[in-house]
Structures are given as C-alpha cells and as structure tokens.
Amino acid sequence: MGEIAVLIGVFAVTFAIGILLILRIPPRLHTPLMSMTNAVSGVTVVGAWLLLAAGGLGGLWLALAMVAVVMGAFNLVGGFAITGRMLRFFKKKESPHG
Amino acid sequence: MADRWQMLFDAAILAIILIGIWRFRDPRAASSGNLLVGAALFCALGIVVFRSPAQTLWIAGGALAVGSLGGLSIARRVNMTQIPATIGFQNGAGGLASCLVSFVELSRGSALSGIGEVAGVFALLVGAVTFSGSMVASGKLAGLVRQAPLAIRGHRGVLAAGLAIALALGFGLVAASGSARVALATGTLLASLLCGILFSIRVGGADMPVLISLLNAWSGLSAGFCGVVMQSQVLTACGATVAASGLILTHAMCRAMNRSLAAVLLGGAYAPPAGLGETPTPQPQGAGRQPRDGEGAAACDPLVRAAELIHAATRVIFVPGYGMALAHAQRSTVQLANRIRQMGKDVKFAVHPLAGRMPGHMHVLLAEAEIDPDMLFDLDEVNCEFAAADLAVVVGACDVVNPAASSVPGTPISGMPILEAQEAKGVLVCNLDDRPGYSGVNNPLYTNAKTVLLLGDAAATLARLIERVQ
C-alpha cells in the first residue's frame, strides 16, 4: 500500500512540474514537443519488459507481452528518431544567420 | 538497500527528463533536449534489461530489436507533411503496449493490491481507447479513412453507453477471480476499443490538432497507470509528464478555436446544415473564375495584377495554411518570400495556431523548407500589423483568414480568432479553388474588391509568379 501511495504522489508531482514547464514552451516548438513526449510515452516498454522478466508467462500471455515490447519499442525509438530529424531543420536554419 | 539505489536512480532519470523538456524553450537547444530525454529513457530501459534474468534477454531482446528497427525505418522515411499521421500511429502503438501489459497482469490474476487493480483497469481502458482512437486519427491524417467527421445516430449516447459498459466490466474484473477474469478483461478491452473508434470518427479536418493532442495526453495517462500496476516510478513519472503536456496542447488548440473541448469532440457546433464544402454554392464558378477581379480594367490576367501588387508593396505578410502543404508548395512559398525580401521589402509570415494538422505543425513545414525563422510570427504578435501592410499573401489558407468568423454569428468558426488579412491594402490568395474551407463557411475575403485570386495548384501558381516578379 505504501508503495502505491508513493507512486500516486510521484504522478501528482511530476504532472504539476510538467504543466509548469510546458506552459513556457513557445508554440513554434509544439510539434517537436509533442513528438518527443509521444516518444516518452513509449517508456511503457519498461513495463512490458518487467512483465516478461518476472517470468511465468505462457502461451497467449507471453505472445501479448512480446507484442507490448515491440509496440513500446516502436513508439520509443521511432519517436525520438523522428523528433531528432525534425529538430535538425530548426537547428540548420538558425546557424547561417548567427 | 537496493531499493534506495533504485529510487535515487529513478530520481536522477526523472530530473534529466525534466531538464530535457525545459530545453525545448529555445529552438536551438531543443535538439540537445531531445537527446537528453532519449538518453535518460534508454538508461532507464538499460537498467531494467541489465537486471533481468538471462533467459528473458533472448525473447524480450528480440521483440525490442524488432520494434526499434520498425520505429527507426518509419521515422527515417516520412516527410514533415506526414508527421501528424506518423505521430498518431506511434501514439497508438504506445497505447497498445500499456493496454496489453495491464491486460496480461489483470487477466492472469497477479497478486496486485486493490488500488493496483483499479489502476490496471484504467490503464487497460485508456490504453485501448488511445490505440483504436489513434489508429483512426492516423488513418484520417494519412488519407486512408474518410476525413470528414462521421456521426452515427445518437452518437453521444452510444459512446457514453460503451464507456459505461467498459467501466462496469472493468470493475467486475476487479471483484472476480479465476477464469472469469479473462472473459471480463477481454470484454473491457473490446468495449474500450470500440469507444476509441467512435470517439475519433466524430472528429475531422481542422479539428484534428485537438484530437491528436488529446490522444497524446491519454497515451501518457495510460503509461502512468501502467506504471502504478508495474510499480515503476520512472514509468509513472513519464506518463504524468506526457499527460500534462498533452493536456496543455489540447487546451492551447481549443483556445485557438475559441471552442470548448466538448464542442470540438462531441460536435456541438458542427450541426452540418448551411452549405458544407460539397453543396453547390451560388457562385460564379467555371467561366467567372479568374476574370472576376479584373472587371473592365486592362489587367485582366490576375498573375499580372499579382506581380504589380508585389512590386508596389513595401510591407508583405504571408499567411500559409494546410492547403500549402497539400500542394507541396512550402518551398515555392519560401522562395517567393525570399525573392520579395531581396527586393528590399519587409516580409513576415503570420502563423495561425490551427494552420496545420497538429499544434505547431506549420512551423515544422516551413522549417523543412528552410525558412529564415526571423520571418515567423504567431497570431498575437502579427495581427496588429496587417493594417499597416500593403499586401497579404494567402497560400492554401481559408478558415483562418475568414472575416466571417468575427462578423457573422452562429457559424462553426464564429468567435475563432483569425489572421486579419482583410485589413491589408491588397490581398493575394493562392488557393486551389474559391470554395469554403473545412468549416463550410463562405469566405467574404475572396469576393473583396482588393483581393486578387490566383486559383489552381499553389506550387504551379507560385512558380509562375516568381518568374514574373524576377
């Protein structure tokens, strides 16, 4: 029970900090921001991995957990890659001007 | 002992992620922010991989490699117009992962505590809605599904009933035991998937930025619940951050439209009678198309008039819209702007928050076309400057420059802040046709005496115009 209370606290505090930080990000970076946070939500791959690592899964459950790892990794890796590509445009256009 | 180290490690990861997000304040620093957050998450994943028993490495490692390679190959291939569809798709993948993790945990009856089970039900429900909703949204954005909003009879009622059933089955699951759990979890999953589809088909076109932002928030929420189920602080914290970000972007998009979230999602304002795009509008189509603005004057060719307007102007403001991206005209637009700037004129770009298919999309599209960022201005910064401008150049935008938004009450766009292109001394419109935009509201700007319409494919029109201006 104590563990769960800590987790709920962690959720509440990071949510509040997240709101404060993200309010200050200029609209022109909203697409890269969303793309990056989208990648962050792929961190659920950690949950899927923990499920597999705990062992004792068989048949359909094992297959579903593996699909979860594939999907999470797809989200995580693809998300960061695409954000990186997008931000390169922002970087490139700034440099010749400075 | 180990617990304390884990907690410190988690706190460090979280701090790095927040610092990374903070770096998104500045376009030049954002790239390093992305790297920081990415590195932190790969460390978090790395420590979990490192601590897991050897036999899982093969199975889970294989799955991880497959997913990563798939993600990379898609990320490398897409262009910036396809970004919203791609992000929608990735978002759906994340939602599915959270949903499956909780499905497995719930249905096999692991020893979860009471609150853990409730969190599991929410992760399952929200994850499934995120998945099916994102797939529909992504399909719409990629042009695979009909983009117009689709409402079935009693849409809201059916959606509410679907959610109630999903919740009821979910809470039944918490109380149940044994094999009933699998059936109840499957029922919850199916009802939630259906809700996601119902939810997304109701939204379309210019409302997509709201939908995409909200789905982003939900994928974070489901990851956060998933973190409670798996007792992972990093997962919970990351989920909370994403949820916060998605909610703020959703709010920003709703504010840009001056509509409430409920009106956008449940279609309050879009009762579709008066003149949707397809209905024949009593306009001089066909024959009357181009010469309409030339009436009697020698300069009948709108292209000639357009070039004259550009030559005579000293202050020019461009208004790009999503139509520009559809016509692949970003580069020609930026080229024309640079050309005009070389002529010693003042050139600005006015970017409406809704000019695109996700928040900030227009900035990315123009960045890809290598625009000088000093030319870009947001709605609040630039709107007061139209009155002093000699020329407004509208490329592929309609609703965001429709003066009817402020002058005609009761339309879907009434009250939406617009870019006041009609205040400029001259207006040049490079759109495909003079039909109303997504909202279906006729645009009086097109029939204004000071407007020159250059109808047709924007990329071709602009190429001809650039030749003429040289």
- Look up the CATH number of the domain holding residue B351: 3.40.50.1220
- Domain ranges for chain A: 2-97
Distances (CA, A) of B338 to A29, B341, B351, B366, B450: 23, 5, 17, 13, 24
| Helix or strand run (H / E) with residue B315 | strand B315-320
Least Cα distance to B311 among B334, B340, B348 occurs for B340
Asked if A49's CB is within 8 angstroms of B49's CB, the reply is: yes
**Can you tell me the distance from the alpha carbon of B445 to that of B55, in angstroms, rounded to the nearest whole number?**
67
Predicted pLDDT at A86: 93
Higher model confidence: residue B122 or residue B259?
B122
Predicted pLDDT at B367: 92
Q: Is the pLDDT of residue B376 over 50?
A: yes
- Residues in A closer than 8 angstroms to B65, CB to CB, are 73
Least Cα distance to B228 among A55, A44, A67 occurs for A44
Asked if B227's CB is within 8 angstroms of A72's CB, the reply is: no
Select from B93, B108, B249 the Cβ nearest to the Cβ of A61.
Answer: B108
Q: Per the domain annotation, does B363 fall within a domain? A: yes
Asked if A76's CB is within 8 angstroms of B76's CB, the reply is: no
Q: Is the pLDDT of residue B150 over 50?
A: yes
Predicted pLDDT at B418: 92
* A2 interface with B at CB cutoff 8 Å: no
**Can you tell me the distance from the alpha carbon of B99 to that of B119, in angstroms, rounded to the nearest whole number?**
11
Distance from CA of B303 to the nearest CA of A (A): 31
Residue from B10, B207, B293, B399 carrying the catalytic annotation: B399
Q: Are B248 and B254 in contact (CB under 8 A)?
A: no
Same domain, B366 and B464: yes
Q: Is the pLDDT of residue B272 over 50?
A: no
Higher model confidence: residue B45 or residue B280?
B45
* A3 interface with B at CB cutoff 8 Å: yes
Q: Is the pLDDT of residue B300 over 70?
A: no
B301 assigned to active site: no
Q: Per the domain annotation, does B85 fall within a domain? A: yes
pLDDT tens digit string along B394-417? 999 998 999 998 888 888 788 889
* Structure-block tokens of residue B100: 């499956």
Predicted pLDDT at B23: 94
* Structure-block tokens of residue B74: 């898609």
**Can you tell me the distance from the alpha carbon of B95 to that of B50, in angstroms, rounded to the nearest whole number?**
25
* Structure-block tokens of residue B261: 């979230």
- Residues in A closer than 8 angstroms to B83, CB to CB, are 31, 35, 82, 86
**Any bridge partners for residue B346, and if so which?**
B315
Q: Per the domain annotation, does B62 fall within a domain? A: no
**Any bridge partners for residue B320, and if so which?**
B395
Look at B21-30, B215-224, B269-278, B340-349 and tell me which has the smallest mean pLDDT: B269-278
Q: Per the domain annotation, does B92 fall within a domain? A: yes
* A59 interface with B at CB cutoff 8 Å: no
Distance from CA of B173 to the nearest CA of A (A): 17
Distances (CA, A) of B334 to A60, B45, B57, B341, B389: 53, 42, 50, 10, 18
At residue B428, what are phi and psi to the nearest 5 degrees?
A: -120, 125
Higher model confidence: residue A91 or residue B261?
B261
Predicted pLDDT at B270: 44
Q: How many domains does chain B have?
A: 2
**Can you tell me the distance from the alpha carbon of B420 to that of A64, in angstroms, rounded to the nearest whole number?**
53
* Sheet-wide strand order for B346-351: B376-378, B346-351, B315-320, B391-395, B426-430, B451-453
Q: Per the domain annotation, does B334 fall within a domain? A: yes
**Can you tell me the distance from the alpha carbon of B90 to that of A42, in angstroms, rounded to the nearest whole number?**
8
Same domain, B367 and B435: yes
Predicted pLDDT at B2: 60
Q: Are A39 and B90 in contact (CB under 8 A)?
A: yes
Place of tokens 């700034």: A94
Q: Are B282 and B440 in contact (CB under 8 A)?
A: no
* B4 interface with A at CB cutoff 8 Å: no
* B354 interface with A at CB cutoff 8 Å: no
Same domain, B322 and B262: no
Average pLDDT, stretch B77-89?
A: 93
Q: Per the domain annotation, does B396 fall within a domain? A: yes
Same domain, B318 and B249: no
Greatest Cα pair distance, chain B, in angstroms, is 88
Asked if B56's CB is within 8 angstroms of A53's CB, the reply is: yes
**B50: three-class secondary structure by DSSP:** helix
Same domain, B205 and B347: no
Asked if B244's CB is within 8 angstroms of A68's CB, the reply is: no
**Can you tell me the distance from the alpha carbon of B203 to that of B199, in angstroms, rounded to the nearest whole number?**
8
Same domain, B447 and B316: yes
Distances (CA, A) of B92 to B95, B113, B134, B136, B222: 5, 28, 5, 9, 11
pTM reported for the whole predicted model: 0.88
**Can you tell me the distance from the alpha carbon of B116 to that of B140, in angstroms, rounded to the nearest whole number?**
35
**Can you tell me the distance from the alpha carbon of B294 to that of B455, in angstroms, rounded to the nearest whole number?**
14
| Helix or strand run (H / E) with residue B307 | helix B302-312
Same domain, B118 and B250: yes
Q: Is the pLDDT of residue B123 over 90?
A: yes
Same domain, B324 and B233: no
Q: Are B153 and B220 in contact (CB under 8 A)?
A: no
Same domain, B210 and B306: no
CA B403 to chain centre: 24
Residues whose CB falls within 8 Å of the CB of residue B245, separated by 6 or more in sequence, listed in order: A18, A22, A33, A34, A37, B21, B216, B217, B220
Predicted pLDDT at B298: 44
Interface of B with A in 100-119 (CB under 8 A): 100-101, 103-105, 107-108, 113, 115-116, 119
Using CB atoms within 10 Å of the CB of residue B463, give its burial: 0 to 12 exposed, 13 to 18 middle, 19+ buried.
middle
* B220 interface with A at CB cutoff 8 Å: yes
* Structure-block tokens of residue B205: 């076109």
**Can you tell me the distance from the alpha carbon of B35 to that of B175, in angstroms, rounded to the nearest whole number?**
44
Residues lower than pLDDT 70 in chain A = 1, 92-98
Predicted pLDDT at B207: 86
Asked which of B242, B266, B290 is the last residue of a domain, the reply is B266
Average pLDDT, stretch B47-75?
A: 90
Which range of residues forms the domain containing residue B229?
80-266
Q: Are A49 and B52 in contact (CB under 8 A)?
A: yes
* Structure-block tokens of residue B339: 């050309």
Asked if B17's CB is within 8 angstroms of A82's CB, the reply is: no
Q: Quote the ipTM score.
A: 0.92
Predicted pLDDT at B294: 41
Look at B263-272, B329-338, B396-405, B459-468 and tell me which has the smallest mean pLDDT: B263-272
* Amino acid sitting at position B308: E
* B147 interface with A at CB cutoff 8 Å: no
Least Cα distance to B323 among B412, B452, B436 occurs for B436
Same domain, B246 and B360: no
Q: Are B421 and B255 in contact (CB under 8 A)?
A: no
Q: Is the pLDDT of residue B107 over 70?
A: yes
**Any bridge partners for residue B279, and if so which?**
none
Torsion sign (Cα): B268, B271, B276, B278: positive
DSSP class per residue in B139-153: HHHTTSS--S----T
Average pLDDT, chain B: 87
At residue A12, what are phi and psi to the nearest 5 degrees?
A: -65, -45
Asked which of B245, B266, B287 is the last residue of a domain, the reply is B266
Distance from CA of A94 to the nearest CA of B (A): 7
Asked if A81's CB is within 8 angstroms of B75's CB, the reply is: yes
Q: Are B40 and B16 in contact (CB under 8 A)?
A: yes
B351 to chain A: nearest residue by CA? A28
Distances (CA, A) of B356 to B53, B209, B210: 47, 8, 11
pLDDT band for B275, please (50, 70, 90 cuts). very low
* Amino acid sitting at position B120: G
**Can you tell me the distance from the alpha carbon of B84 to that of B91, in angstroms, rounded to the nearest whole number?**
10
**Can you tell me the distance from the alpha carbon of B4 to that of B51, in angstroms, rounded to the nearest whole number?**
15
